[in-house]
């Protein structure tokens, strides 16, 4: 019944269209001589109602979310900016090195002490007192980040606080290696001095696969240096996890 009604409606509409168009006979005649099939469906313009404007309350400006998020190759969140020569004692003071990262409670404590050694000129605390996690998931630094004594606790503390990546002009070699070995954070190098281009509190996105940093607060985009062969090691969770994943050493299950 529905099919019959639809066919009848289509027939009436088609007849109405033919009777209302002065050009229809000539069009159909020409189409027949060219061996074209006569169309059975037509588009007929109908007047549109004027839409009323949206009230001001509906007009919300677009802006990037400040909620930290990450995938394998993309990190998004609020950045914390530091200068040159941030050493490992500023990242995690020596008195906290007795904490054992493999212990979940002590791992969380390491996060709470992350960057607690920064001088008082940094008026914004990286981790608020009484908290284990920082609201800053990305650190932007100057030259020679992670210098000083070698301690794996430095990248571990940053990772425990919720940091996903550090973007620095350059790194102390041992800190870079410890970051890769632990798999806690991505140590990415910038092509320009981003610590002078960005401010603490800016919302940024890092795309590892595209070597890009987007500052959504300023609307600027910056090129990053490729992470290289260490990317898969960090992605796997560190050097031992990578070795197990690739069959270099036996996995826990075997």
Read off the pLDDT of residues 162-172 as tens digits, 9 standing for 90 and up: 999 999 999 99
Place of tokens 């990248």: 155
Res. 193: pLDDT tops 90: yes
What are phi and psi for residue 181, nearest 5 degrees? -65, -40
Res. 25: pLDDT tops 50: no
pLDDT score of 189: 98
Helices of type H across the chain: 2-20, 24-33, 88-91, 104-112, 153-160, 173-182, 230-236, 239-245
pLDDT score of 96: 97
Structure-token pair, residue 160: 């425990």
**Domain boundary assignment for the chain:** 2-45, 69-245
Average pLDDT over residues 175-199: 97
**91-142 confidence digits (pLDDT tens):** 999 999 999 999 999 999 999 999 999 999 999 999 999 999 999 999 999 9
Indicate whether this model's pTM tops 0.75.
no
pLDDT score of 59: 38
- What is the DSSP-derived secondary structure letter of residue 147? B
**73-96 confidence digits (pLDDT tens):** 899 999 999 999 999 999 999 999
Report CA-CA distances (Å) from 219 to 105, 135, 198, 202: 39, 21, 11, 10
- The CATH homologous superfamily to which domain 69-245 belongs is Aconitase, domain 4 (3.20.19.10)
């Amino acid at each position: 019944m529905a099919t019959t009604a639809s066919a009848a409606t289509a027939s009436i509409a088609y007849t109405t269209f033919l009777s209302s168009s002065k050009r229809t006979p000539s069009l159909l005649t020409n189409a027949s001589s060219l061996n074209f099939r006569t169309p059975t469906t037509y588009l007929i313009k109908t007047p549109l109602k004027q839409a009323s404007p949206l009230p001001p309350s509906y007009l919300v400006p677009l802006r990037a979310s400040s909620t930290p998020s990450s995938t394998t190759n993309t990190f998004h969140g609020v950045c914390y900016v530091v200068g040159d020569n941030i050493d490992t004692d500023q990242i995690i003071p020596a008195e906290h090195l007795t904490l054992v990262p493999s212990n979940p409670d002590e791992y969380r404590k390491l996060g709470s002490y992350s960057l607690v050694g920064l001088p008082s000129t940094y008026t914004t605390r990286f981790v608020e007192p009484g908290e284990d996690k920082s609201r800053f998931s990305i650190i932007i630094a100057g030259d020679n980040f992670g210098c000083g004594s070698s301690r794996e606790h430095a990248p571990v503390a940053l990772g425990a606080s919720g940091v996903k990546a550090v973007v620095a002009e350059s790194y102390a070699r041992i800190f870079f290696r410890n970051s890769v070995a632990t798999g806690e954070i991505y140590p990415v190098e910038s092509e320009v001095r981003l610590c002078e281009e960005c401010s603490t509190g800016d919302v940024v996105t890092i795309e590892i696969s595209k070597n890009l940093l987007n500052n959504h607060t300023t609307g600027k985009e910056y090129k990053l240096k490729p992470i290289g062969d260490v990317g898969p090691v960090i992605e796997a969770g560190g050097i031992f996890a990578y070795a197990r994943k690739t069959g270099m050493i036996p996995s826990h299950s075997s």
